[in-house]
Chain A
Amino acid sequence: MTKIIALAGNPNSGKTTMFNDLTGSTQHTGNWPGVTVEKKEGRLKGRRDVTVQDLPGIYSLSPYSPEELVARNYLVKERPDVIVNIVDATNIERNLYLTTQLAELGIPVVIALNMIDIVNKNGDLIDIRQLGEALGCAVVPTSALKGTGLEKAAETALSCSGKPPLSPRPIFSGDVEGALAEIGSLLSERRKERGETPLTATELRWSSIKVFERDAEQTANPDTLLGAGAAARIEEIIRALEDRYDDDSESIITNERYLFIAGVVRECVQKKNRHTLSASDKIDRVVTNRVLALPIFAGVMFLVYFLSISTIGGYMTDWVNDSLFGDIVPNAVGGLLDSLGTAEWLNALILDGIIAGVGAVLGFLPQMLVLFLCLAFLEDCGYMARIAFILDRVFKRFGLSGKSFIPILVGTGCGVPGIMASRTIESDNDRRMTVMTTTFIPCGAKLPIIALIAGALFPGSMWIAPSAYFLGIAAILITGVMLKKTRGFAGKPSPFVMELPAYHMPGAPGVLRTMLDRGLAFVKRAGTIILIAAIVIWFLSSFDFSLRMAETSDSILAAIGGAVAPIFDPLGWGDWRATVATVTGLIAKENIVGTFGVLYGFGEVAEDGAEYWPQLAAAFTPLAAYAFLAFNLLCAPCFAAIGAIRREMMSAKWTWFAVGYQCGFAYVVALIIYQMGMLASGHFGVGTVFAILCILVIVYMLFIKKPYAGADAKNTQRLAAAAAAAE
Chain B
Amino acid sequence: MPLTMASPGDGEFTIHKISGRDHTIRRLAEMGFVTGATITVISEVAGNLILGVKGTRVALDKTLAQRIMV
Q: Which residues from chain A sit less than 8 Å from chain B, CB to CB? A: 59-60, 62, 64-65, 90-94, 97, 247-248, 250-251, 254-255, 258-259, 277, 280-281, 284-285, 288-290, 293, 385-386, 388-390, 392-393, 396, 494-502, 723
Asked whether B26 lies within 8 Å of A497 as measured between CB atoms, the reply is no
A254, A386, A499: the one contacting B34 at CB < 8 Å is A254
Chain B residues with CB under 8 A of A285: 8, 42-43
B59 touches A293 (CB 8 A): no
Q: Which of A93, A247, A496, A501 contacts B55 (CB 8 A)?
A: A93
Assess whether A281 is in contact with B42, with CB atoms less than 8 Å apart. yes
Max count, chain B CB within 10 A of own CB: residue among A65, A280, A285: A285
| A393 contacts B36, C-beta separation under 8 Å | no
Q: B63 near A495 (CB under 8 angstroms)? A: yes
Residues of chain A within 8 A (CB-CB) of B2 are none
Nearest A-chain residue to B18, judged by Cβ: A251
Expressed in whole angstroms, the Cα–Cα distance for A12 and B33 within the complex equals: 18
A-B contact pairs, 30 of them (CB 8 A): A62-B30, A64-B23, A90-B55, A93-B32, A94-B56, A251-B29, A255-B29, A255-B34, A281-B52, A281-B57, A284-B57, A285-B8, A285-B42, A289-B43, A289-B45, A290-B44, A293-B45, A385-B59, A392-B59, A393-B61, A494-B24, A495-B61, A496-B60, A497-B24, A497-B31, A497-B59, A497-B60, A499-B31, A499-B57, A723-B21
Contact in complex: B59, A393 (CB < 8 Å): no
Among A97, A293, A502, which residue has its beta carbon within 8 angstroms of that of B32? A97
- Taking the closest CB of chain B, its distance from the CB of A108, in whole angstroms, is 24
CB-based contact B64/A496 at 8 Å: yes
**CB within 8 Å for A255 and B36 given contacts A64-B27, A284-B43, A290-B46:** yes
Bound-state CA distance A255–B33 (Å) is 9
Instruction: Given A285-B43, A393-B48, A496-B59, decide whether A97 and B64 contact each other with a Cβ distance below 8 A.
Output: no
A393–B48 CA distance with the chains assembled, in angstroms = 8
> How distant is the Cα of A289 from the Cα of B31 in the complex, in angstroms?
24
**Complex: how many Å from CA A280 to CA B42?**
10
Chain A residues whose C-beta falls within 8 Å of the C-beta of B48 in the assembled complex: 389, 392-393, 496
Q: Please tell me if the beta carbons of B32 and A258 are within 8 angstroms of each other in the complex.
A: yes
**Chain A proximity of B4: nearest CB distance (Å):** 13
A-B pairs, 3 with minimum CB distance: A91-B55, A496-B61, A93-B54
Interface: B69 (CB within 8 A):
no
Q: How far is the CA of A277 from the CA of B42 in the complex (A)?
A: 9
**B58 CB contacts on chain A under 8 angstroms:** 497-500
B interface residues (Cβ-Cβ under 8 A, vs A)? 8, 21, 23-24, 26-32, 34-37, 42-48, 50, 52-61, 63-64
Q: Point out the residues of chain B lying under 8 angstroms from A258, CB to CB.
A: 32, 34, 37
Q: From B58, which residue of chain A is reached at the shortest CB distance?
A: A499
CA distance A392 to B58 in the complex (A): 14
| Bound: A93/B33 CA distance, A | 12
**A498 lies within 8 A of B59 (CB):** yes
Give, as a whole number of angstroms, the nearest-CB distance from A424 to chain B. Answer: 13
Expressed in whole angstroms, the Cα–Cα distance for A499 and B57 within the complex equals 6
| CB of A477, distance to nearest CB on chain B (Å) | 18
B residues in contact with A255, CB < 8 Å: 29, 34-36
A390 to B47, CA, bound (A): 11
Q: A258-B34, A285-B42, A288-B50 are in contact. List 8 more A-B contacts (CB 8 A).
A: A92-B55, A247-B35, A280-B57, A390-B45, A392-B61, A495-B61, A495-B63, A499-B56
Chain B residues, CB < 8 A from A59: 27, 30-31
- Rounded to whole angstroms, the CA-CA distance of A67 and B32 in the bound complex is 19
For B46, what are the chain A residues with a Cβ–Cβ distance below 8 Å?
A: 290, 393
Q: Which residue of A has the minimal Cβ distance to B64?
A: A495
Residues on B with C-beta less than 8 A from A93 are 32, 54-55
A358, chain B: closest CB distance, angstroms = 43
**Roughly how many angstroms separate A254 CA and B21 CA in the complex, as a whole number?**
13
Partner of B21, one of A60, A91, A248: A248
**Distance in Å: Cβ of A582 to nearest Cβ of chain B:** 41
Cβ of B45: which chain A residues have Cβ within 8 Å of it?
288-290, 293, 389-390, 393
Q: Which residue of B lies closest to A60 (CB)?
A: B30
Instruction: Please measure, in the bound complex, the distance between the C-alpha atom of A81 and the C-alpha atom of B54, giving whole angstroms.
Output: 31
Q: List chain B residues, Cβ under 8 A from A498.
A: 58-59
Residues of A with C-beta under 8 A to B59: 385-386, 388-389, 392, 496-500
Q: Judge whether A62 and B26 touch: CB under 8 Å.
A: yes
Rounded to whole angstroms, the CA-CA distance of A495 and B64 in the bound complex is 7
Provide the residues of chain A in CB contact with B53, threshold 8 Å: 94
Select which of B43, B47, B54 is within 8 A of A288 by beta carbon.
B43
Min distance, Cβ A499 to any Cβ of chain B, angstroms: 5
Which residues in A have their C-beta under 8 angstroms from that of B24? 494-495, 497
Please report the C-alpha to C-alpha distance between residue A694 and residue B23 in the assembled complex, in whole angstroms: 40
